[in-house]
């Protein structure tokens, strides 16, 4: 598992230690000169060393403080990116579950193929997992997570693509054929559908329905698996932070 992020207090500790050392050096050098333990002209050397050391340590402490600030800023960006990804996954799961439920309510692929209206789904263009924002996951102990999130986004887009293809075929081919053959608004055996619609329209409608159901179920399953994994990774990286999660997670 990734190493949990720990508080970074190095600049503060270094500043305190250096201040104490310089105070001790100044005190001891003054005491030594006063008691004539060392020649008086060494006072200038000691002052120079003290000032030079203080300047160097001050510059180094400033550098370390800037590094700490940058480190904290990077952590904030990473935590925000993970939370955004988790929230996006939750919204994708909700969208896919609604699609799967609609298919399950019809129970059979024939009903999905011929009775499911070609409804325009909501605009899901903003439900996008931006893997560029999550590139830091490559540096964790689960670097494959980034690739898997990319695959999840492709699966989600594939579901929307199969719905669009099916709807276009249904509106342009299936619905006009159903109307022409008098199959709208009445129940008929599947053999009659096949005989009246012809092989191309009949099989095309079934293939579109099967593709929609297959990709929706696959996406529903994989999203349910990757969400708790990403949440677990987030808590391993930032144990004291809060991240969004599903109620059943």
The domain spans of the chain are 10-237
Q: What is the pLDDT of residues 129-178, one digit of tens each?
A: 999 999 999 998 899 999 999 999 999 999 999 999 999 999 999 999 99
Within 10 angstroms of residue 94's Cβ, the number of other Cβ atoms is 12
Distances (CA, A) of 182 to 13, 17, 114: 84, 91, 13
Which pair of structure tokens corresponds to residue 185?
């608004």
d(CA 232, CA 247): 15
Distances (CA, A) of 14 to 61, 66, 70, 136: 7, 14, 18, 29
**pTM of whole model > 0.85?**
no
Which pair of structure tokens corresponds to residue 113?
């193929």
Q: Of 214, 221, 38, 246, nearest to 112 (Cα)?
A: 214
Q: What is the pLDDT of residues 62-88, one digit of tens each?
A: 655 565 666 577 889 999 999 999 999
Confidence of residue 186 (pLDDT cuts 50, 70, 90): confident
| Higher per-residue confidence, 240 vs 67 | 240
Of all residues in the chain, the percent with pLDDT exceeding 70 is 71
- What pLDDT sits at residue 73? 76
| Higher per-residue confidence, 247 vs 130 | 130
Of all residues in the chain, the percent with pLDDT exceeding 90 is 57
- What pLDDT sits at residue 185? 80
């Amino acid at each position: 598992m990734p190493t949990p992020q720990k508080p970074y207090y190095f600049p503060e500790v270094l500043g305190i230690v250096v201040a104490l050392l310089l105070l001790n050096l100044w005190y001891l050098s003054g005491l030594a000169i006063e008691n004539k333990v060392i020649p008086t002209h060494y006072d200038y050397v000691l002052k120079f060393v003290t000032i030079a050391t203080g300047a160097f340590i001050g510059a180094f402490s400033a550098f370390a403080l800037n590094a700490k600030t940058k480190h904290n800023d990077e952590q904030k960006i990473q935590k925000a990116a993970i939370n955004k990804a988790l929230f996006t996954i939750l919204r994708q799961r909700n969208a896919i579950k609604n699609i799967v439920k609609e298919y399950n309510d019809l129970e059979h692929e024939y009903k999905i193929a011929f009775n499911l209206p070609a409804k325009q789904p909501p605009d899901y263009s903003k439900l996008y997992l931006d893997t560029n924002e999550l590139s830091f996951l490559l540096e964790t102990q689960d670097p494959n997570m980034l690739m898997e999130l990319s695959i999840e986004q492709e699966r989600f887009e594939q579901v929307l693509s199969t719905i669009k293809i099916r709807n276009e075929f249904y509106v342009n081919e299936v619905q006009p054929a159903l109307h022409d053959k008098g199959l709208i608004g009445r129940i008929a055996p599947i053999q009659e559908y096949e005989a009246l619609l012809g092989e191309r329209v009949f099989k095309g409608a079934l293939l579109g329905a099967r593709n929609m159901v297959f990709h929706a179920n696959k996406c529903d399953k994989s999203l349910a698996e990757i969400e708790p994994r990403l949440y677990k990774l987030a808590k391993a990286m930032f144990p004291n932070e809060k991240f969004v999660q599903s109620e059943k997670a």
